Structure 1
Amino acid sequence: MKYIRANILILTGTLTLSSYFSSLAHAHGYIQSPPSRAYLCYQGINHYCGAVQYEPQSIEGYKNFPYSGPEDGRIASAGMYPFSALDAQAPTRWQKTNVHSGTMNLQWHLTATHSTTHWRYYLTKQGWNSSQPLTRASFDLVPFCQYNDNGRVPNTRVVHQCSLPLGRSGYHVILAAWDIADTNHAFYQVVDINFPH
């Protein structure tokens, strides 16, 4: 009886992992510039990242943020347990890229392309709490940048020219949501940035 139970547990674990890695095989994309938190994990610049260091392109959750999508406190990982290390938040936890208000390019590298509804970019509010996991209350929920693809399939390299809002200083986080047209999913990336004083 113990032997049968052990085999069932092993089989269940194998099927769960198989399903997980099968879903990763079809995915998907990350922000290369400025480098996202996940991409910096992949490069070995961010440390103690867990599984995302091998799969920076696979951070997938429900679309239609902020009305749907990952729950508060699990936004950076898109609610995916294997990537939950991304949800750790502290002022010095993640490598940051210096930026300035005004025009900037956000460049994605796609490992698989999908029919796309839109791309949306959100920025944390001035005065957000950088010591707490990201929540909807952390962000201005009106995107500071949006591109509508209306079902088109993008190239593997996507560049969006965006305008960073004025009035920000210090550490902030960009949340990027790439909503897929023919599923109820989106791919999420967070980018840790710093506005020098």
Structure 2
Amino acid sequence: MHKKPSIQRKLAALAGVALAPVLVLGLTATPANAHGWVTNPASRQDQCARGVVQCGEIQWEPQSVEGPKGLKDCAGGNSRFADLRDDSKGWHVTDVGSSTTFTWNVPVKHSTSTWQYFIGDTKLAEFDDGGAIPPDQVSHHVDFQGFTGKQKVLAVWNIADTANAFYACVDVNIGG
């Protein structure tokens, strides 16, 4: 013999069906590992976050371009942020002189070994923080050492107490 489901059972079942997607999304969502990125001149991930250039997931996580130290990769070796490697995306290029100041936004601090700036394989500058915890914003004045024209600068924040670094690429027009 089958009993008819009570109204309370029907309501409980409907509530369970309605809440299931919310619970699944909430339990499987990966929390953003907020750390830091270059905001001035605007890095590629900053341009994505502000909607200047249309990008994938990086638009919601400009601070998360983290990967092993020693890479020369705008995406920090992270395939989720491959848009940052695409030189044809129409990145805004900032006119600068023979030097400029790069400013990092640092919402979550890490003990810092060094900050480095590269054009290609040429290291332009390195700033040693000796394990210090950075403030909310960090600025470095970088000389472009004879480079001119449109260049892609790779900015690297090396963390002192892990094997990782944070990466940001900035498109500049030196002498522009």
TM-score (norm 2): 0.79
Report 1:44-59 matches (<5 A).
Answer: 44-47=51-54, 49-59=55-65
Q: Secondary structure at the match of 2:57?
A: helix
Task: Kindly indicate which of the two structures has a greater share of residues assigned to strand.
Answer: 2
> Once the 2 structures are TM-superposed, how far is the Cα of residue 93 of structure 1 from its aligned partner?
2.4
User: Which residue in 1 is equivalent to 2:167?
Assistant: 188
Query: Measured at CA, do residues 35 and 80 of structure 1 come closer, stay the same or move farther in structure 2, by a change above 3 Å?
Result: same
> Once the 2 structures are TM-superposed, how far is the Cα of residue 193 of structure 1 from its aligned partner?
1.0
Paired residue total? 153
Alignment counterpart, residue 96 of structure 1, candidates 93, 97, 113: 93
The letter for the 1-side match of 2:42 is: P
2:138 maps to 1:158: yes
> Once the 2 structures are TM-superposed, how far is the Cα of residue 161 of structure 1 from its aligned partner?
1.4
- Separation (CA, whole Å) in 2 of partners of 1:178 and 1:17: 29
Q: Secondary structure at the match of 1:150?
A: strand
Q: Secondary structure at the match of 1:143?
A: strand
Q: Percent identity?
A: 32
Post-superposition CA distance 1:6-42 (Å, at most 9, x none) = xxxxxxx97x954xx23x2x32001111110100111
Unaligned runs of 5+ in 1: 1-12, 124-138
2:127 maps to 1:120: no
> Once the 2 structures are TM-superposed, how far is the Cα of residue 167 of structure 1 from its aligned partner?
3.9
User: Which residue in 2 is equivalent to 1:86?
Assistant: 84
- Separation (CA, whole Å) in 2 of partners of 1:88 and 1:142: 21
- Separation (CA, whole Å) in 2 of partners of 1:77 and 1:61: 8
- Separation (CA, whole Å) in 1 of partners of 2:28 and 2:144: 40
User: Which residue in 1 is equivalent to 2:8?
Assistant: none
> Once the 2 structures are TM-superposed, how far is the Cα of residue 94 of structure 1 from its aligned partner?
1.2
2:152 maps to 1:173: yes
The letter for the 2-side match of 1:153 is: I
Larger Rg: 2
- Separation (CA, whole Å) in 2 of partners of 1:29 and 1:55: 10
- Separation (CA, whole Å) in 2 of partners of 1:101 and 1:144: 12
The letter for the 2-side match of 1:93 is: G
Query: Measured at CA, do residues 17 and 86 of structure 1 come closer, stay the same or move farther in structure 2, by a change above 3 Å?
Result: farther
User: Which residue in 1 is equivalent to 2:49?
Assistant: 42
The letter for the 2-side match of 1:101 is: S
TM-score (norm 1): 0.71
The letter for the 1-side match of 2:74 is: A
Moved over 2 A (4+): none
User: Which residue in 1 is equivalent to 2:12?
Assistant: none
CA contact (8 A) 2:148 2:175 kept: no
Post-superposition CA distance 1:79-113 (Å, at most 9, x none) = 212211111123x62111111213x1110111100
The letter for the 2-side match of 1:160 is: H
Q: Secondary structure at the match of 2:140?
A: strand
